[in-house]
Structure 1
Amino acid sequence: MGSVEDVFRDLSVARRLQPADPSYVLDLALPSTCGSTSAPGSELLAVCCSSHSVRLHSRETLRVCGEYEGHEGTVFGVRFSPSSPHLLFTGSADGTLRSWDVRQPGSAAARVFQSDLEHSYCSFDVSCNGGVLCAGTEQVDEDSFLVFWDVRMAGTTHEAGGERERMLGVYSESHSDDITAVCFHPARADRVATGATDGLVNVFDLSLGMEDDALVTTCNCDSSTSALCWSGKNLDQLLCLSHDEGLHLWDLARLDSDEPFTLLSSPDARTLVSLPEGTSLDYFVGGAWLKEAGHLLLLGGANTGDLHLLDCRGSGLRLIKSLKGGHSAIVRCFQWDAIGGALLTGGEDGKLLQWKAGAEEISVGKRDTLKSVSSMHLKIKAHRKLANKKDKQQTTTVISTV
């Protein structure tokens, strides 16, 4: 891969999918195939929608290949298993994580992961070896929980409320409000970062077991976390975006040194970007580490649907390219398809777009009208900012992962 400018300067809409279903596109996922397109499921793109459904698309043509139903609440996230590209995980506010076999489109969930019946999840992720699932709950009374399952450990328990997958363990003391982001390290299966509306971002080493021992560091972003992303040449930097458009970039390799580990921090990172006259930056979608280019890509957008590709580093943010003529509403998610050389985006206009260099648009499907969707779909829950972490007395469960 050449420079960031070489990759993105000629991007234009290649394909545009507008399904008849007017629901928002909330999250996208591509399988982790390490450059291979021969494994089952590697040719797919997974999409979750505000209609509680999960769709499979061709990553090349965007055409719908299948659909799954079963969740009873908002599906906020979708992830392919890094170890088995035919296995897809989804997380929902209905208090379940589910796994699906992409070789059997339309089938029922292969497994259902659930903890306490009072738990409603608002974030989840799967470890880089595909072995551990972690879900973050909304606040329950004065507690918030990180719940873990070992995917490789088959078996269920019979408890009040029915049968459920056996949990690996629970952390209950490190966050005091809704846990809005869970992000496993891309190369270390035992390392996970979590963020919440309490303003804290925690990094854990799960191999150390007990919660107090596993907590490597706590960073304060002074706001509600919206997204986390591991980055840097050695993947030891952590990007945190907040719901009020704040941005923090920490170098965790400096934790044991005298050097400051905060590389970049702004309560409103929109002020760090210089845009051409007549354009606006209203929000950030998320970040992605481009390994081949050695750059941290940040995607921002305007409420009108325009997008801005930004280069993020310790010195600040720099505009790479603005993308116009694609979306007509807020963009909620994106993925960079390194194999296909394409940027994939989805948003509140219901559109799924594929952007490629020098492309001429091929329309995959259109509709004449877009019905409005309730603003309840905008966020799973109104997020609260808490200044300090609350004291907790919950007992911690030991977790051993590898």
Structure 2
Amino acid sequence: MEREAVSAGSINCHDWVLKLCSLDKHGLVSGLSNGKIDVIPFGQTEKHKEINAHGGAVNSVRKVDENSFCSCSNDGIVKIWDLRSPNGNNCVAAMEGVKNLPFVSLDARDTLVGAGTELKGDSHLFIWDRRRLSVPFKQFTECHQDDITEVRFHPTRRNMLLSGSTDGYVNVYDLKAEKEEDALLQVINFASVHSANFLPNDKLYTLSHMETFSVHSLIDTTTEESVESDPVDYGDIRDKWSCEYVVDLYAPGYICCGSNSTKQLRLYQFDPEKVAFDGLSTDSDYISLPGAHGDDIVRDMVIHHGVIYTGGEDGLVKIWNVSGNMLGDTSSRFFGQEAGSKSHHHHKHTQKKPIKTIDAEDGHIHHSKRHEGQDGSVEPRHHHHHNHHHHHSHKSSRFMPYSRE
């Protein structure tokens, strides 16, 4: 059944809105492609605070606690902001990576902040502890062979982290391990990663730039024999979910997907406790956001106190109201301390050899196959270096971090 959302206004941010997060006490935080961050108080569209945050596109913003958030940018810096500061700046910490490598992915949990870079020579995954920011808590350089497009901390296992990359792999790490090679618990060979996150019951999902979707099992690190079970592979989900692209999956259980040609955005609801994505279609319950952001890509969505906020490449944050059942607030984690914790952290962790997909023929580690052109050239759907001032017919600028040519 379709429920139609009603537009309740919009805020012009004057450049692509790349990422959103919400802080109950302060409003909606939006990271923009011009290096600014807008903080939009809930319930009003007139005045908002504009922060000159970075010297390049702000590729991600994530909530740190009720008063602060972090941001990462093409300028190669990760910053932490506290919105209680009375002065205009609010920046309480700035962490630099290496060689000005653009940061394209970000997450925060408890005292940790993790960020992944683009590939230039190497790609780097940094983890900082906010209690001691002078040096990174961890720095991984061998983990991926391409841009690191996703970083997520596990919601209940303090020392578990995943990263995903355009190299086709999702890696799961144990942050207690001293050395990088010992930290790698699991390697999932998938496809160029648009997003990935932990689900309850020892699962994680992966969504590719080619709109393929899979659910994988975390290996049990408590036994000597670590056997990976086969993933539930849904293949290309555009037909099933009647869309041209998936924005992302959001806790407590929403899939946001869009179609530029029909100017549509849909929200499907799902139960993260059950891996039951097969049943989702336009026959199931969904919320439609008519008109969406026109024929521009929608980059992110937040639900706060029943109100839907969407941000897009048209430079707008749009506000939507839905009648009927109250929608749950979106957050970055699909389960909290209660669900799915199963006291895993009480087990003794034996160091595991990382699991790689090895080709029996040549003994080489396999990289996932991407779409190949007739000449054998690789053609994933994302534009890698996209100049947003030349508006594009190619709809997949959303996927890749914004970059100036």
**Aligned equivalents of 1:228 and 1:64: distance in 2?**
35
Q: Percent identity?
A: 28
Decide which of 184, 188, 194 is 1:226's aligned counterpart: 194
Q: Bigger shift: 106-115 or 308-317?
A: 308-317
1:238–1:250 Cα contact (<8 Å) kept: yes
CA contact (8 A) 2:72 2:103 kept: yes
Distance 2:391 2:179 in 1: 40
Q: Match of 1:366?
A: none
Distance 1:201 1:259 in 2: 14
Q: Select between 165-174 and 89-98 the one with higher mean Cα deviation.
A: 165-174
Instruction: Work out whether residues 11 and 45 of structure 2, in 8 Å CA contact, stay in contact via their aligned partners in 1.
Output: no
Q: Could you list the per-position Cα deviations for residues 257-302 of structure 1 after superposition, in whole angstroms to 9, with x for gaps in the alignment?
A: 8783412331x221333x4xxxxx1111000131xxxxx4211101
Query: In the alignment, does 2:94 pair up with 1:112?
Result: yes
| 1:301 partnered with 2:282 | no
Cα offset, 1:171, TM superposition: 0.9
Question: Counterpart of 2:77?
Answer: 96
Q: 1:213/1:285 Cα in 2 relative to 1: closer, same or farther (>3 Å)?
A: same
Q: What is the CA deviation profile of residues 233-269 of structure 1, one whole-angstrom value per residue up to 9, with x for unaligned ones?
A: x4x3212111121111113267878783412331x22
Q: One-letter code of the match for 2:49?
A: G
Q: Which residue of 1 aligns with 2:176?
A: 207
Match 2:116 to one of 105, 112, 136: 136
Structure 2 Cα separation of the partners of residues 348 and 112 of structure 1:
27
Tell me how far apart the structure 2 counterparts of residues 17 and 116 of structure 1 sit (CA, whole Å): 38
Q: Kindly indicate whether residue 311 of structure 2 is the aligned counterpart of residue 346 of structure 1.
A: yes
Structure 2 matches for 1:17-28, cutoff 5 A? 17-19=10-12, 21-28=13-20
Match of 2:250 in 1: 288
Q: Residues 94-131 of structure 1, C-alpha deviation per residue, up to 9 Å, x if partnerless? A: 1000112212373152211012234221112112x1x1
CA offsets 1:310-350 (integer angstroms, 9 cap, x no match): 3454452333323213321221111232xx11222111122
Whether the aligned pair in 2 keeps the contact of 1:118 and 1:140 (CA below 8 Å) is no
| Contact 2:214–2:234, Cα closer than 8 Å, also in 1 | yes
Q: Secondary structure at the match of 1:110?
A: strand
Q: CA distance change for structure 1 residues 68 and 374 in 2, over 3 Å: closer, same or farther?
A: farther
Taking the aligned partners of 1:58 and 1:355, their CA distance within structure 2 comes to: 15
What letter corresponds to residue 6 of structure 2 in structure 1? V
Partners in 2 of 1:194 and 1:59 — Cα distance? 32
Contact residue 289 and residue 320 of structure 2 kept, 8 A: no
Q: Larger relative contact order (C-alpha < 8 A, sep ≥ 6)?
A: 1
| Code of the aligned partner of 2:98 | D
Q: Number of aligned pairs?
A: 321
Give runs of aligned pairs for residues 1-400 of structure 1, distance below 5 A.
9-19=2-12, 21-31=13-23, 42-81=25-64, 84-104=65-85, 106-107=88-89, 109-127=91-109, 129=110, 131-141=111-121, 143-154=122-133, 165-221=134-190, 223-232=191-200, 234=201, 236-252=202-218, 260-266=229-235, 268-273=236-241, 275=242, 281-290=243-252, 296-304=253-261, 305-311=263-269, 313-316=275-278, 317-319=280-282, 320-321=285-286, 322-328=288-294, 329-337=296-304, 340-358=305-323, 373-375=389-391, 379-380=400-401
Q: CA RMSD in A?
A: 2.6
> 1:16·1:351 contact (CA, 8 Å) conserved in 2?
no
Answer whether contact 1:115 1:167 (CA < 8 A) is retained.
no
Tell whether the 8 Å contact from 1:180 to 1:225 is kept in structure 2 after alignment.
yes
Q: Which amino acid letter does the alignment assign opposite residue 87 of structure 1? A: S
**What is the letter of the counterpart of residue 247 of structure 1?**
F
Residues 252 and 314 of structure 1: is their aligned pair in 2 closer, same or farther, counting only changes over 3 Å? farther
One-letter amino acid of the structure 2 residue matched with residue 308 of structure 1: R
- Give the SS at the match of 1:270: coil
- Once residues 154 and 47 of structure 2 are traced to their aligned partners in structure 1, the CA distance between those partners, rounded to angstroms, is 31
Taking the aligned partners of 1:228 and 1:63, their CA distance within structure 2 comes to 35
Unaligned runs of 5+ in 1: 32-36, 155-164, 276-280, 291-295, 360-371, 383-402
User: Counterpart of 2:114 in 1: which secondary structure?
Assistant: strand
Q: Distance in 1 between matches of 2:100 and 2:39?
A: 30
Distance 1:108 1:315, change over 3 A: closer
Q: Which runs of 5+ in 2 are unaligned?
A: 325-387
Partner amino acid for 2:180?
E
Is this contact kept in 2: 1:307–1:324, CA < 8 A? yes
Contact 2:84/2:90, CA 8 A, preserved across alignment: no
Query: Whole-Å Cα distance in 2 between the matches of residues 60 and 11 of structure 1?
Result: 20
Q: 3-state DSSP class of the match of 1:212?
A: helix
Q: Deviations over 1:19-75 (max 9, x none)?
A: 2x53111110023xxxxx5xxxx2411011112100111233355431211311111
**Is the 1:270–1:283 Cα contact (8 Å) retained in structure 2?**
yes
Length-normalised TM-score, structure 2: 0.72
Q: Which amino acid aligns with 2:126?
A: V
